[in-house]
Structure formats: C-alpha cells, structure tokens
Amino acid sequence: MEGFWNIFQAFSVVLVIGGTPLLFATLGELLTEKAGHLNLGVEGMMLIGAVAGFAAGHFTGSPLLAMGGAFLAGGLGAMIYGFLTVTLRANQVVSGLALTMFGTGISSYLGVNFIGQKMSAEISAFFSPVAIPLLSSIPYVGRVFFRQDPMVYLGYVTVALLGTYLYRTRIGLNLRAVGENPGAADASGINVDLYKYVHIFLGGALCGLGGAYLSVVAVPQWQDGITAGRGWIAIALVIFAGWNPFKAILGAYLFGGLSIIGFYFGNYFSAWNISQNLIDMLPYAVTILVLTASSVRKSKEKGAPKALGVAYYREER
C-alpha cells in the first residue's frame, strides 16, 4: 500500500504538469468561443507558440522573452484566423483547420535546426519548481499543487483572472453578449468586431503559451509536432468544461492524468491483465464519452454560446 501511495503522489505531481499546456490551450479556446468564434486552429497556434518560444529562449536566453514571444506568436497566428472570419466572414471551421495546417507546417520548417536541441540551463533553472511557503507543507495537496514551476502557478492565476474577467467585469459581460447574440450586442452600442478581434488574439496567445510550456518548460527540447494532438483535446475540453474556466482546470488535469496513467501504473495494470493498448486509448475514449455525455446536456446556461460559429453581418437579417 505504501508503494502505491508513493506512486500515486508522484503521478499526481506529473498530472499537473501534463495538464498545464492543456489548461492554457483550453482557456484560450474558451475565450475565443465566448466571442462566438470556433477556432479549430488550437493545435496550430500551440505549435506556433512552441516554436516561437523555443526560438526566443534559444537565441535570447531570457525566460520571459521566451514566454512573451510565444504569447505574441500565438496571438498573431490567431489574427490570421480572425481576419478571415471576422472581416472576410469566411467559414470558421475551414479557417481554423487551415490555421492548424499552417501552424504545423511552419513549426516544422522553423524548427528543423532545433531538433534535438535542449533549452539552456538558465532557462530551465528559471522554470524549476518553487515551493510556496505554508501552502506547500499541506500533506499531499502541497506537494502536488504548490511545489511546481512558475508556469503552473501562472495557470492558476489565469483561471482566476479569466473567471473574474468573464463574470465580474463589464467587458466580460459585453463579450458574453457578443458570443450569444451579436445583434443584441451591436444594438447596445458594443463594437462587435473589435471584441472579436481582441479575444481571438488573446485566445491564440494563451494557446501559444500552452505550446511553449511544452517546448520550453516541460520537455524541454525541440521535437517536431511537440504538441501531439493536445490542441484537439483542448477543443473537446472546452465543451467538457461547459465554457466555464473553473471547470476547465479540472478537465485539463484529468486529461493530463489520463495521458500518463499507463506510465505510472503500468505494473498494476499488467498485474490485472489490462492491455497497455487499452490504457493508451483512455484519453481518447474518455474524450468521446465526455462529448457524448455533454451533448445530451440540456441546460440553457451551460451550453455553447448561441452564436458560436455564425458570422455576423449587421445588415443581414
């Protein structure tokens, strides 16, 4: 039993790390969807952020510039999508898929010379775990949540900020109206297009941070396609979270855990004769289950923003 507990604790620590890139990407997509835009380019924006962050860290040696670069690059990537869907009113699904392809391609291209390279020691040191006084001495919880790297903490802060922003501020209120009923928002004097652009940018920037967390902090070396499909899981997680940032953190950690469960509990599973393939399947199987379960959910409040995916023209009716 002692052995299991130790493994469980170690597993929990890594689960938070595995969940953090998902968390940033989920929050980014959530913010975008609140503005009524379904951006399927999450995977692409994460990859753009990952390569930009790695390059910035590699060339400048500054951890802050690495993250700042990833933030900016993710946001700029999203602006391509924003221009297509807000100004040109192109189909959102197609534009998002195009962004994913673009991001995958450009990250491979720019990352070619980084393959196998590691982040510098200074940057890794900057992003090494920091214990938070008092909180970190709580049994189990302290070890798992409060002895982590700064980006994990930034994740917590982002959740709290986003929750407050969406539900406690006027801008958040206006933003939710833009996603629910742009006609109503427009008639209330809200600049719908501006809201869309700003939040598509911020959403992409958060996805960029998620990608850079992988390349700069968690791995931390460059691999081609480093996000490995996490962008798609993030899109599903937004639905899982019911468009609520506080639930997004649960979802992100749950999926972070599922993706490493085989690694930590492999011995137990083989003792119980559970095939490794089944375990590897878990995150995807659970994604399907979650999406099915949440699509039968009827509540008016927890659903997608009503105008999600619909272009808005003022003069159309």
Partner 1 sequence: MQAQVFVKMENICKTFGNVKANDRINFDVHQGEIHALLGENGAGKSTLMNMLSGIYKPDSGSIQIHGKEVVFNTPKDSIEMGIGMIHQHYRLVEVQTAKENILLGRKGPFFMKGAHVSKDIREIGEKFGLPVDPEKKVYDMSIGEKQAVEILKVLYQGADILIMDEPTAVLTPQETRKLFAILRNMAAQGCAVIIITHKLHEVMEISDRVTVLRKGTTVGTLATKDTNPKALTDLMVGKTVDLAISRPPVERGRVLLEVKDLCAYDMDKVEVLRDISFKLHAGEVLGVAGVAGSGQKELCESIAGLYPVASGQILYEGESLVGNSPRDIIKKGISMSFIPEDRLGMGLVASMDMVDNFLLKEHHNQKGLWLKRKPIAEKCAEIIRRLEIKTPGVHHPVKQLSGGNIQKVLIGREIETNPHVLITAYAVRGLDIGASHTIYDLINEQKEKGVAILFIGEDLDVLLELCDRIMVLSEGAVTGIVRGDKATKEELGLLMAGEDLGMEVAQ
Task: Name the residues that contact ligand ATP, by CB under 6 A.
Answer: 315-317
Q: What's the token pair of residue 64? A: 């802050």
Asked if 11 and 260 touch (Cβ cutoff 8 Å), the reply is yes
Determine the Cα–Cα distance for residues 307 and 194; give it in Å rounded to an integer.
16
CB of 28 to partner 1, least distance (A): 22
87 part of the interface to partner 1, by CB under 8 A: no
Determine the Cα–Cα distance for residues 83 and 81; give it in Å rounded to an integer.
6
User: Contact with partner 1 (CB under 8 A): which of 10, 93, 138, 184?
Assistant: 184
Which residue's CB is nearer to ligand ATP, number 301 or number 315? 315
Asked if 214 and 21 touch (Cβ cutoff 8 Å), the reply is yes
Residue nearest to ligand ATP (CB): 317
Which residue's CB is nearer to partner 1, number 139 or number 189? 189
Return the range that interacts with partner 1 (CB under 8 A); candidates 7-15, 20-28, 95-103, 163-171: 163-171
CB of 194 to ligand ATP, least distance (A): 23
The candidate with the shortest Cα–Cα distance to 36, out of 247, 306, 246, is 306
SS (H, E, C) 26-53: HHHHHHHHHCCCCCCCHHHHHHHHHHHH
296 part of the interface to partner 1, by CB under 8 A: no
User: Contact with partner 1 (CB under 8 A): which of 125, 134, 168, 292?
Assistant: 168
Question: Tokens 């933030």 appear where?
Answer: 71
3-class state of residue 224 by DSSP: coil
CB of 116 to ligand ATP, least distance (A): 58
185 part of the interface to partner 1, by CB under 8 A: yes
The one of partner 1, ligand ATP, none whose footprint includes residue 306, by CB under 5 to 8 A per kind, is partner 1
Question: Tokens 């997608």 appear where?
Answer: 304
The one of ligand ATP, partner 1, none whose footprint includes residue 280, by CB under 5 to 8 A per kind, is none
User: Contact with partner 1 (CB under 8 A): which of 89, 118, 297, 306?
Assistant: 306
Determine the Cα–Cα distance for residues 256 and 290; give it in Å rounded to an integer.
15
The one of ligand ATP, partner 1, none whose footprint includes residue 185, by CB under 5 to 8 A per kind, is partner 1
Asked if 212 and 125 touch (Cβ cutoff 8 Å), the reply is no
Q: What's the token pair of residue 222? A: 């460059």
Determine the Cα–Cα distance for residues 220 and 223; give it in Å rounded to an integer.
9
User: Contact with partner 1 (CB under 8 A): which of 7, 13, 97, 173?
Assistant: 173
Instruction: Report the interface residues with partner 1, using CB under 8 A.
Output: 168-171, 173-174, 176-177, 180-181, 183-191, 300-301, 306, 314-315, 317
